[in-house]
Structure 1
């Protein structure tokens, strides 16, 4: 199985397990900058050089050797499950992707047909009932994650615990897991713990939100999208995420963590 979703700087200063929709574009660009003194020109997910990635065959032996020997500081980043799934909906379901097409080709027509979802017309810019459509999307997300029907779960809305666990199960160990909601504090802790060829001044690093502008703007506060049933579904899908990463399942309006992440507990619970 190896280490899917794992990125490492070419200098091997640091190892990062990507979790989709958790500031991964910004983190990847910071890693690139820390090695090369410049940002990658384009979406860091498209980069074929300047960063070791498990998806690049030539990088795999280097990543595997580093991670299994725990040679470098390893980290990942998490996000509130309510805002993460909502962001996935607006970006991936309602939005037009970088290639000018809908995400995953037939996915959106399937959701329109099977779940009655509206996505705001061909370009996602028409008015539509965002709350109703999102709640129907939640049913689809639950069906795909729980029963793998009508398709396999997508990386952008499958649980963070699942992404994070593959690194542990295959022999990796995290030195730090921090929250997107306290990004600067967490990323600074990582940078303070490693030595990089180029210094990174976090205060002046732009945020590389590659999904911004793909879809319609969210028209309501986060909590308006989640009624009692929606909250139940979200907890059913993301129970481990709420418990391990200390987010508030009872209050969708509170995106901030409510406790500290216990790394030993994460390794014990996700290493089985």
Structure 2
């Protein structure tokens, strides 16, 4: 078995399948705190101790054993596809990363050359046509996901259902899938059902948005970025995300889900 993208507390109280751009930094810090009584000092994605991660070879036997035993509460978190792809664009394409550089080195220059994307710079206050550049980025994202060109799809804009499906396909089962948009309610349900060494008061937990402050702010409401072609592309890429996780395709400005997630349906459709 292989469980890429899976994190687990050292106490084995909970197992989390990371879905990028869905509050993963905050969730990871809460998991860390629930074991140690303190938050990780830095970006939780950089931690090499205090949290089991499948990417760390020494953690893999413990994660595989816990997934098989199904004693630890297992969960993940999803987000409105419209908001998620916008966040990916503003963070990974238009923004400057924590190391002071552009994401993936020469990716942004390549997009400027091949797709005509402009993203501005800190020197000009990130002054660029956000709507036009985002729509061009969306064409690029579609090309990577549907045709795997000019590169493999990136984890930050590939479909949530794809991330979530790998865990199911390899023998895992989710006990909870909750919404970023109602984070405290969903995360509290996970904590209440888990045997954590340290109690967590969600009201006291800060939001760990590692991308905030490193790029331009979104200047328009969500629907302004999506014309008819953009919405066609979004449906082509994220149809399963809209349907399985109950998000409103017809109204991009309605960030809230329209109903509850059916876990049996998710496992049946993504476990094929």
Q: TM-score, normalising length from structure 2?
A: 0.98
| Aligned partners of 2:122 and 2:215 also within 8 Å | no
1:192 corresponds in structure 2 to 192
Q: Does 1:147 align with 2:164?
A: no
* 1:4-153 aligned within 5 A: 4-121=4-121, 125-153=125-153
Q: Does 1:169 align with 2:173?
A: no
Q: How many angstroms apart in 2 are the aligned matches of 1:141 and 1:19? A: 17
Instruction: For 1:125 and 1:163, locate their aligned partners in 2 and report how far apart those are by CA, in whole Å.
Output: 34
SS at match of 2:77: strand
**Take 1:131 and 1:67, find their aligned partners in 2: how far apart are those partners?**
43
Structure 2 unaligned segments of length 5 or more: list them. Answer: none
- Describe the shift of the 1:87–1:123 C-alpha distance in structure 2 as closer, same or farther (beyond 3 A): farther
Alpha-carbon distance in structure 1 between the residues aligned to 2:110 and 2:135: 16
Aligned position for 2:157 = 157
- Displacement, 1:125? 2.7
Aligned-pair Cα RMSD in Å:
1.0
In the alignment, the residues of structure 1 paired with residue 153 and residue 256 of structure 2 have an alpha-carbon distance, to the nearest angstrom, of: 26
Deviation of 1:129 (Å): 0.4
Q: For residues 94 and 103 of structure 1, what CA distance do their matches in structure 2 show? A: 9
Per-residue CA distance 1:246-270 (angstroms, 9 max, x = gap): 0001110100000110000000000
- Where does the alignment leave 5 or more consecutive residues of structure 1 unmatched? none
Residue in 2 that maps onto 1:256: 256
Deviations 1:118-160 (A, max 9, x none): 0113667331100000000000000000000000000000000
Q: 2:258 aligns to what SS in structure 1?
A: coil
Aligned match of 1:221 = 221
Distance change >3 Å, CA 28–CA 127, structure 1 → 2: same
Q: Structure 1 residue 204: deviation in Å? A: 1.0
CA contact (8 A) 1:77 1:179 kept: yes
Question: 3-state DSSP class of the match of 1:7?
Answer: strand
State the secondary structure of the residue aligned to 1:220.
Answer: coil
Task: Give the whole-Å Cα distance in 2 for the aligned partners of 1:197 and 1:149.
Answer: 46
Q: What number of residue pairs does the alignment pair up?
A: 272
* CA–CA separation in structure 1 for the residues paired with 2:67 and 2:122: 44
Distance in structure 2 (CA, Å) of the matches to 1:116 and 1:195:
51
- CA–CA distance in structure 1, aligned partners of residues 91 and 269 of structure 2: 31
2:181 aligned partner: 181
Instruction: Provide TM-score, normalisation by structure 1.
Output: 0.98
* Deviation digits for residues 186-227 of structure 1 (CA, Å, limit 9, x no counterpart): 000001101111100011110101111121011111111011
Does the 8 Å contact 1:94/1:124 carry over to 2? no
